[in-house]
Amino acid sequence: MKNNRITWLDSSRGFAILLLIAVHYIGALESRNIISSDQLLLIQSVLRVATPYFIIVFGFTFFITQRKRINSFSDAFLSVYRMKNKLGYILIGRQIIVIINSQRYDAISENIFEILTFQQFSPTGEILTFYLLALILAPFSVAILNILPKKKFSIIFLIIYSASYLIGSGYSDSVDNSLFRLFFYDIYPFFPMFCLAMFGMLLGKLYINTSSNKTELMLFGCLAIFFILSGLIWLSIISEQPLYDLAKGRYKGPPHPIYVLIYTGLTIAINILLVAVLGIVGNKRLAEKPLSIIGRNTLLAYVLHYCLFLGTPISLAVFGKRESLYEAFGFIFVLLTIFVIIFYRDSMKAKNYARKME
């Protein structure tokens, strides 16, 4: 796993984006009778890993890439300052997503000014708000992890998670406070979700400190099995319809320990499999290069994927009627167009970097 580290990290980020896209569009298969409702529940319950996967991979990657640069709080402040342009792009990306979705959803279009000015929050795309805040706090978490022993760091993020979960789980509809919902309750409640990023950083430190690939596989494999089994056993005890509850995100907001255990374990297991697959096909570049390109352009990829709904109107304009096959052609056309844009952007970044190095 230690080979081709940067490419592997890029591929993980790319796969995280693909999972987030799949979550948003898998329902279209059931609505068009391509899969059954039971199959949809199973797929949705697995794809719920998308958000934890994205956040844990973010924390893991951030620690791996920044651990040598951030050793104090002054380094952390400097890191945030250096990211000012990126933070601005994330904010712009969030606003673009709101505008795109206002063309699809009345609930957004009717309150677009309030959402754009953060008086309200959008039902879609707010993971970028989380990402914006997480990027600001991430350097300080790296500094703390570099200063403190792993056990003390673990205690800190467990306390933060427990406190924020208890606060969020006490939410009632009578509370109409947007900041409260943002930090503790909604789809991406910041504080409990950021603890997943902190855990990702801890995994990054364990990864760096392991002495061999065999030790790595044993350690992370055991962690994955322990988390998944613990979560599933707990779920089977308290839920009468476990698959349905997972698929519908009953335990997501705020993230229940069951949600955290199951999907943290799945995240680790998926990454183990991803690294294994990339090791097999890496020389042929069958999967590694597309994933790494997306991974190096995650913000652009995430914003553009909200344009995939254009596949349906495009198919109607071209074929004159609505059929699943025509919609599939339209969807694939938009998907390929998006990838071409991402590939072009990645090529331009590579050329600009090469010029700077000359």
Most confident of 171-180, 262-271, 311-320: 262-271
Q: How many Cβ atoms sit within 10 Å of the Cβ of residue 183?
A: 20
* Residue 332 belongs to some domain of the structure: no
pLDDT digits 0-9 by tens, 80-137: 999 999 999 999 999 999 999 998 888 899 989 988 998 888 887 788 999 999 999 9
Identify the residue with better confidence: 176 or 301: 301
CA distance 193 to 143: 19
| pLDDT tier at 159, thresholds 50, 70, 90 | very high
| pLDDT tier at 5, thresholds 50, 70, 90 | very low
Residue carrying the six token digits 């998006």: 338
User: According to the model, what pLDDT value does residue 92 have?
Assistant: 96
Identify the residue with better confidence: 31 or 199: 199
Contact 60, 201 (CB under 8 A): yes
Q: Could you tell me if residue 282 is left (phi over 0), alpha (psi between -120 and 50 degrees) or otherwise beta? A: alpha
Kindly tell me if the per-residue pLDDT of 2 is higher than 50: no
* Residue 349 belongs to some domain of the structure: no
CA distance 28 to 16: 20
pTM of the full structure: 0.90
* Residue 97 belongs to some domain of the structure: yes
- Amino acid code (one letter) for 43: I
User: According to the model, what pLDDT value does residue 38 have?
Assistant: 85
* Residue 207 belongs to some domain of the structure: yes
- Amino acid code (one letter) for 10: D
Residue carrying the six token digits 């069958």: 286
* Residue 12 belongs to some domain of the structure: yes
Provide Rg for the chain, Cα atoms: 21
Which residues span the domain enclosing 268?
5-296
User: According to the model, what pLDDT value does residue 89 have?
Assistant: 95
Compute, in degrees rounded to 10, the torsion defined by CA atoms 292, 124, 24, 231.
Answer: 90
How many independent structural domains does the chain possess? Answer: 1
CA distance 261 to 227: 5
Contact 234, 258 (CB under 8 A): yes
Kindly tell me if the per-residue pLDDT of 4 is higher than 50: no
- Mean pLDDT along residues 329-340: 91
* Residue 308 belongs to some domain of the structure: no
- Mean pLDDT along residues 334-346: 93
72-76, 79-83, 211-215: least confidently modelled range: 211-215
Q: How many Cβ atoms sit within 10 Å of the Cβ of residue 307?
A: 16
